[in-house]
């Protein structure tokens, strides 16, 4: 009887008082979420890989790249040819063979001829880009960021991946992981090297080879630059904003263009190439309005060198063309400020949190030194300020520009030669 009672007591339900402290609960919660997110990412990655291989196998647009190449340059479009041209010219002059693959059938690089050079249009579809995943080469060089993040993956048959920086802008303006999976970055200035190293510290990733290269396309702009001064009968304004939500066209619309033409300025409007893709509706609306005004010229050429040469002054926001106009053409600039909120970059926020600092994007520090700033929230004195800048003697600003260029740009005027020598050492 006692034995049966003992067994019965063991089987009766009991009330348990459990306690999970908030700290442990949070850790457990984030641990579970982390495992779940990693699992989802892994499954998605496997799915996309399988899907990509199946789609590529059946795609009519695929390009077969079978032969092992020495050096391959990949270009997203014709506008990047000037970022490669001088490097390629110097390499082939050394007798080093290289190939140029582009996703633009009108790319000027397809017309370049040399016994040590070959080029190929690989198509403009996404499967044509994916064909680079099957590339065989010693070195692949490109201006395209986010290797191994988007469609373009690290091919096991490519020995070395190089990103050639094509703008002097801060690396914090790029999306996260833009440079993480390259072996080497050919940087334009010391600010890029310093900030890439900071990101590597934060992420605890392996140090990449960071080279002091410079801006190759500056070599080309200098070649085309006329030695004569601009002497326009009608003062000419180059309006060249960035794209997206920070663009002055997105914030002010056609008004800024109307103000310029009403003040009897000739306007060269140069949309950022990405505006045609991401700001399609706004771009089409502005182009339609411009058709009815003879004082407006729309420049849709791949390169803006001719427009920069013709213009007396540049009006922009945070577009990279500011530094081309300042550092190469040494002309006055008006930039609408507050178009980019400070410290908005995810990468920069991590740096500031880790270092307990309040760093700004490089452009925000240098912009006031090379341009006259106008608050985008108050444009009432825009034309007055523009006329004042044009009337001023800009010798002091030009001297400042030269000093900043010396500090911020490696190998100004001969970056292509330097880059070719650096690549030769890596072979």
pLDDT tens readout for residues 29-40: 545 655 664 565
Distance, CA of 394 to CA of 340 (rounded, Å): 26
For residues 76 and 144, is the Cβ–Cβ distance under 8 A? yes
Distance, CA of 59 to CA of 303 (rounded, Å): 32
pLDDT (average), residues 139-148: 93
Indicate the average pLDDT of the chain: 83
Distance, CA of 115 to CA of 124 (rounded, Å): 26
- Spatial CA neighbour of 315 closest among 331, 298, 336: 336
The pLDDT value recorded for residue 110 is 96
The pLDDT value recorded for residue 130 is 75
Distance, CA of 46 to CA of 192 (rounded, Å): 34
Distance, CA of 52 to CA of 426 (rounded, Å): 32
For residues 72 and 131, is the Cβ–Cβ distance under 8 A? no
Residue 257 has pLDDT above 60, yes or no: yes
Q: Please give the angle made by the CA atoms of 142, 145 and 148, to the nearest 5 degrees.
A: 100
Across 5-19, 53-67, 112-126, the highest mean pLDDT is recorded for 112-126
The pLDDT value recorded for residue 22 is 45
Distance, CA of 363 to CA of 360 (rounded, Å): 8
The number of beta carbons lying within 10 Å of the beta carbon of residue 358 is: 9
Domains in the chain, please, with CATH? 69-215+413-426 (3.40.50.2000), 228-408 (3.40.50.12580)
Q: Torsion-angle region of residue 320: left (phi > 0), alpha (psi -120 to 50) or beta?
A: alpha
Distance, CA of 220 to CA of 81 (rounded, Å): 10
Q: Which helix (H) or strand (E) holds 267?
A: strand 266-269
């Amino acid at each position: 009887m006692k034995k049966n009672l003992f067994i019965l007591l063991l089987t009766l339900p009991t009330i348990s008082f459990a306690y999970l402290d908030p700290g442990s609960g949070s850790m457990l919660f984030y641990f579970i979420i982390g495992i779940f997110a990693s699992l989802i990412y892994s499954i998605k990655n496997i799915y996309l890989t399988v899907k990509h291989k199946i789609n590529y196998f059946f795609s009519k647009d695929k390009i077969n790249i079978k032969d092992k190449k020495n050096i391959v340059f990949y270009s997203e479009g014709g506008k990047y040819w000037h970022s490669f041209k001088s490097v390629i010219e110097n390499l082939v002059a050394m007798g080093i063979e290289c190939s140029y693959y582009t996703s633009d059938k009108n790319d000027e690089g397809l017309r370049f001829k040399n016994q040590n050079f070959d080029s190929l249009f690989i198509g403009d579809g996404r499967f044509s880009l994916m064909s680079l995943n099957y590339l065989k080469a010693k070195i692949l060089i490109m201006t395209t960021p986010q290797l191994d993040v988007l469609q373009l993956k690290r091919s096991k048959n490519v020995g070395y991946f190089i990103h050639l920086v094509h703008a002097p802008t801060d690396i914090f303006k790029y999306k996260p992981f833009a440079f993480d999976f390259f072996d080497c970055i050919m940087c334009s200035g010391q600010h890029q090297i310093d900030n890439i190293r900071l990101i590597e510290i934060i992420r605890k990733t392996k140090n990449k080879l960071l080279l002091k290269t410079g801006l190759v396309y500056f070599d080309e702009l200098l070649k085309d630059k006329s030695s004569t001064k601009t002497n326009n009968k009608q003062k000419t304004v180059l309006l060249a904003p960035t794209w997206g939500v920070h663009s002055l066209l997105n914030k002010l619309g056609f008004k800024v263009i109307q103000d310029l033409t009403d003040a009897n300025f000739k306007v060269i409007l140069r949309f950022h190439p990405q505006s045609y893709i991401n700001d399609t509706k706004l771009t089409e609306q502005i182009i339609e309005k411009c058709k009815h005004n003879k004082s407006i010229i729309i420049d849709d050429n791949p390169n803006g060198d001719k427009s920069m040469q013709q213009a007396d002054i540049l009006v922009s926001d945070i577009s990279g063309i500011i530094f081309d106009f300042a550092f190469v053409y040494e002309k006055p600039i008006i930039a609408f400020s507050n178009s980019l909120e400070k410290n908005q970059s995810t990468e920069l926020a991590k740096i500031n949190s880790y270092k307990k600092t309040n760093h700004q994007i490089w452009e925000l520090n240098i912009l006031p030194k090379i341009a006259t700033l106008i608050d985008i929230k108050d444009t009432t004195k825009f034309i007055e300020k523009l006329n004042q800048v044009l009337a001023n003697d800009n010798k002091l600003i030009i001297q400042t520009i030269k000093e900043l260029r010396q500090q911020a740009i490696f190998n100004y005027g001969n970056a292509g030669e330097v880059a070719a020598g650096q690549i030769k050492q890596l072979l």
